[in-house]
Amino acid sequence: MRYLGGRLIIGLVLLFLGIGLVLNQFGFEIRVQEIFSYWPVLLLLLGLEWMIRSFRPGPATAERKTAFSAGQFVSGLLLIFIGAFYLARKFGYLEELSPDAFWNLLLALLLIIGGLSLIRSRLQVGSSGGRWAFLGGISVGSSLTPWKLESSSYIAFMGAIEMDLTAAVIPAGETVIDLTAVMGGIDVKIPAGLAVAYEGTAFLGGITFKDQEDGGIIASRRISELNGQTGPALRLRAHVFMGGIEIKEQPQQPLP
């Protein structure tokens, strides 16, 4: 996600600081150190800008519908929360709460949100099975040998999973694949032209779906390419915690 408004805010802050330093050289008393002490205001402005952008993340098209970005909204809320804490301490409030305790509470909150998200995703998917990659790597599917794809879940916990769906036989209707990467990585290849619905949430990690990239503190996105599709369709649910998932579409093979 690109935050042009955030760049503008940071640019203005740097501009004013530079002007303050120049004025100091010409005898004007500008307390630059005092200005620096208001750095939490920058977090408040950035958080507010992110929250506003979460309601208009981008134009919707017939092929891809973009909804309200909950991850971007929560990320902005967290920045405001952090900025408000340090600004309150600057003015003598919340002194009984140390920064270490504050960050421990914030980390605990992120872990709870991440855990609830993973539990929710596991309860939602109606899978016929699944596979784990724990401190190791596994491969699923092949681009040469046809194989039957069924609704299932895959978890990479400090490990790696490589999935190749280009030769998979996908039944009619919707097949649900649940992907979870916890301090690990998952790479998925999907065939070109397949109708796909995608839901992704990342906590302190990143997800790439075709040409869409999301990452950071918390990021989420939903994309639907089904549009009343009656044939084979794939629903991908991707969840990342301190890891990464990459979903790539294989290019169309040129006609001979």
Q: What secondary structure letter does DSSP report for 250?
A: P
Query: Would you mind telling me the total number of residues written for the chain in this entry?
Result: 256
Do 126 and 151 meet the contact criterion of CB atoms below 8 Å apart? yes
CB-count exposure of residue 156 (10 Å: 0-12, 13-18, 19+): buried
State the amino acid at position 58 in one-letter form. Answer: G
In this prediction, residue 140 carries a pLDDT of 86
Cα 46 from Cα 39, distance rounded (Å) = 11
Q: Which residues contact 130 (CB under 8 A, 6 or more apart)?
A: 152, 153, 154, 155, 178
Q: What is the DSSP string of 175-220?
A: EEEEEEEESSEEEEEE-TT-EEEEEEEEEEEEEEETTEEEEEEEEE
Beta bridge partners of 174: 233
Task: Look at phi and psi of residue 101 and say left if phi exceeds 0, alpha if psi is from -120 to 50, else beta.
Answer: alpha
- Model pTM greater than 0.85? no
- Taking Cα atoms as reference points, which of 209, 194, 155 lies closest to residue 177? 155
Following CA atoms 149, 125, 187, 248 in sequence, which dihedral angle do they give, to the nearest 10 degrees?
Answer: 80
In this prediction, residue 66 carries a pLDDT of 46
Split the chain (256 residues) into runs of 10 and give each run's mean pLDDT: 52 70 68 71 80 61 48 75 88 87 84 68 54 83 82 86 88 85 89 85 85 78 74 86 86 55
CB-count exposure of residue 232 (10 Å: 0-12, 13-18, 19+): middle
Q: How many CB atoms lie within 10 A of CB 122?
A: 16
Distance between first and last Cα of the chain: 39
In this prediction, residue 95 carries a pLDDT of 83
In this prediction, residue 202 carries a pLDDT of 85
Cα 29 from Cα 35, distance rounded (Å) = 12
Alpha carbon distances (Å) from 34 to 12, 82, 89, 188: 17, 20, 15, 51
